[in-house]
Chain A
Amino acid sequence: MAKPNTTFLVNNTSNDGANTGNATGGTGDNSSYWVVVDRSNDAIAFCSEQQNDGDSLTGTRYPVVIPSSGSNEAEKTFLMDDSAGIFDQIPLAGTTNGGQDGGDTRYVFCIYFDGATAGIPYLEAWDDNTHSTYNHNFLGDGTPANSSLLGITTTNSSPGSDTWAGTPLAGSGSSNRLELDTAALTGAKNLYFNLKQVVTNGVHEPGSTTDIVLTLRYLYS
């Protein structure tokens, strides 16, 4: 149970299938396709419907629009693929309230562990790489329940709803991070989850920074 290596992958198809390529990704079950994320140079972007799959990273980026009242789920989600220089769409991200093919889908985002852990792995969101604050407006201005970033674990089953509510992600509080499995990992395993951004009038502000950090926390011995 030395420190396992981890790989982050995204499914860039509308086909809901497992990652069978593990750390190398590629074509998975049900003709899904898993892209290995370059964790040094890539990023996730939540965008409006104007952004299109394959748009150049050097072109215009269309952020999610805050509605005049109520809330709005990001219409599209992308991997900002640095090596390809494009916005690579992740069509199954989010729910049917968004503008893609998301909903009761299971295989969207994946973290592959190549070995066992001593405890349950967690996914968290923080302001930056120090993992000490969650005060960005994007994350709820210090109130985790107001975070615009919501997630749901799908390692063992799909969400069970096309409009899953999800867990608001901000910090490491037990109700504001995702348990990516139900127990410590006994060996190599793919852990799955889905993400969405929901912006709310009166809570989230135009132009607020979105340069936040998704963090994986786990135990080894």
Chain B
Amino acid sequence: MINQKTFKYELIFDDGVRYLSPDIRRSDPGWASEFCEKPIRELKFYLPDKRILILCNFEAYNFFVECSESIFGGNIKIDAFYFCGKYRDKVLMWKIDIKNRRIVKTLSKFGEEYVGTATRGWRPGLFGYKPNTGILVGE
């Protein structure tokens, strides 16, 4: 059976409210357009192999899609999805590399998270907790 949550992310806010995104392979994955200032407690992403990527207790979160499009010919391609958690001056980032079929976790200085440059779209998380992240076997 196909997991109905595959290629969707889920936000669990501090007050318990949940937000399930549309399929993030679409042109509007919802992170910016469904903006909400409530603090996020946990971010989940449902991988196509039924595993779940989880980030929780970070001070801020970000998500974005990397795409490439040939200026002449060729279609627009999604190359990767990124899920980020900020803690103090560091960013832990998971790159779901669609193009090369791999998942890469990196730690960088805040403001240098994407190939040494800053990204926009950060949303508030929680302060005073120990952040945690990993990939779990799915439900």
Identify the A interface with B (CB < 8 A). Answer: 1-3, 6, 8, 37, 39-40, 42-44, 111, 116-120, 124, 129, 131-132, 174, 179, 183-184, 186, 213-221
Q: Which of A2, A117, A120, A216 interacts with B71 by CB under 8 Å? A: A216
In the complex where A219-B64, A219-B114, A221-B63 touch, is A119 in contact with B119 (Cβ < 8 A)? Answer: yes
Q: Contacts A1-B32, A131-B77: A184 and B118 contacting too (C-beta < 8 A)?
A: yes
- Can you list 30 A-B pairs, Cβ within 8 angstroms, ordered by A? A1-B33, A3-B27, A3-B65, A39-B70, A40-B72, A40-B73, A44-B72, A118-B65, A119-B66, A119-B120, A120-B114, A129-B74, A131-B99, A132-B99, A174-B116, A179-B117, A183-B117, A213-B71, A213-B73, A215-B68, A215-B69, A215-B71, A217-B67, A218-B66, A219-B82, A219-B114, A220-B65, A221-B32, A221-B62, A221-B63
CB-based contact A39/B71 at 8 Å? yes
Chain B interface residue bracket vs A: 20 to 34
Whole-angstrom distance between the Cβ of B105 and the nearest chain A Cβ: 18
Output the nearest chain B residue to A214 by Cβ-Cβ distance: B71
> Using an 8 Å CB-CB cutoff, how does the interface string of B74-105 with A read, 1 for contact, 0 for none?
11110100100000000000000001000000
